[in-house]
Structure 1
Amino acid sequence: MYRCVLPLMLAVSSLAAQAQTHRSFPVNALRGDLVVTQYPDMTLNGQAARLAPGGRIRNADNLLAQPASLVNQRLTVHYTVEASTGLLMDVWVLNSVELANKPWPTTRAEAASWKFDPGSQTWTK
């Protein structure tokens, strides 16, 4: 009976530890403020945006989040945009450790002029 509980306890502690660390974000991920209005419609930095078909939202614990559970919450996120359509493809709700990682570009122009270190997940101007 105890053998069944141990893997569950390890999984929960692993998720808690993961939530306090940096995830690896792609170089094209930008930072912004997201509000889910009515799926798939959202606002990103105050502008209308839409989640792409197949687009994913991951919560601060890196688990898939249902957009309906995030309605009307203002969230600081990292996101990628589908190049051909301009729709949001991947969205990560940031945890407290990731929020403290500054600076992070908010526009493509900033990302093009700054330098990204993928190992440490940091940007330099």
Structure 2
Amino acid sequence: MYRCALSLTLAATCLVAHAQTHRPFPATAMRGELQITQFPDARLNGKPARLAPGARIKNEVNLWVPPAGLTGQKLVVHYTVESSGLIMDVWVLNPAELANKPWPTTPAESATWQFNPGNQTWIKR
């Protein structure tokens, strides 16, 4: 029993440690500054934006957080938008992810850059 509990603790620690380095992001994820004003309203890169009804926000260690808990904070994030333009997925970046540059901030940039999903890097063409 003790050995099993120790193994589960070690596994959980490894998962958290991995989450603190790099998470896999889709090629459609853009980088920006997000500020939740009053859910579902927000500011994205200084412009008014809105979170989708099913929006998911994950913190620096990849745990889901309610948007109301982030109200007023300016956060550097990766995000995706749905076809209607609403913000769908948000990942608050940890220091290792912040250091991963360059990362596109607009769809126009991502269309002209090349994404390597294996090591989560972008190359400007």
Query: Which ranges of structure 1 fall in alignment gaps of 5 or more residues?
Result: none
The amino acid of 2:62's aligned partner reads N
Q: CA deviation at 1:20?
A: 2.5
The amino acid of 1:77's aligned partner reads V
Q: Do structure 1's residue 81 and structure 2's residue 81 form an aligned pair?
A: yes
Task: Give the Cα–Cα distance (whole angstroms) in 2 for the partners of residues 12 and 71 of structure 1.
Answer: 29
Task: Give the Cα–Cα distance (whole angstroms) in 1 for the partners of residues 48 and 12 of structure 2.
Answer: 36
Task: Give the Cα–Cα distance (whole angstroms) in 1 for the partners of residues 9 and 79 of structure 2.
Answer: 31
Task: Give the Cα–Cα distance (whole angstroms) in 2 for the partners of residues 67 and 32 of structure 1.
Answer: 16
Q: Which residue of structure 1 aligns with residue 39 of structure 2? A: 39
CA RMSD of aligned residues (A): 1.6
Q: Which residue of structure 1 aligns with residue 69 of structure 2? A: 69
Cα deviation per residue 1:43-98 (whole Å; 9 max; x = unaligned)? 00001111101110010110101111111111000000001x10001000001110
The number of equivalent residue pairs is 124
Q: Runs ≥4 in structure 1, deviation > 2 angstroms?
A: 1-12
**Alpha carbons of structure 1 residues 90 and 5: separation in structure 2 relative to 1, 3 Å:** same
TM value normalised by structure 2: 0.90
Q: Which residue of structure 1 aligns with residue 18 of structure 2? A: 18
Identity level (%)? 65
Query: Which ranges of structure 2 fall in alignment gaps of 5 or more residues?
Result: none
Q: Do the aligned partners of 1:15 and 1:61 also contact (CA within 8 Å) in 2?
A: no
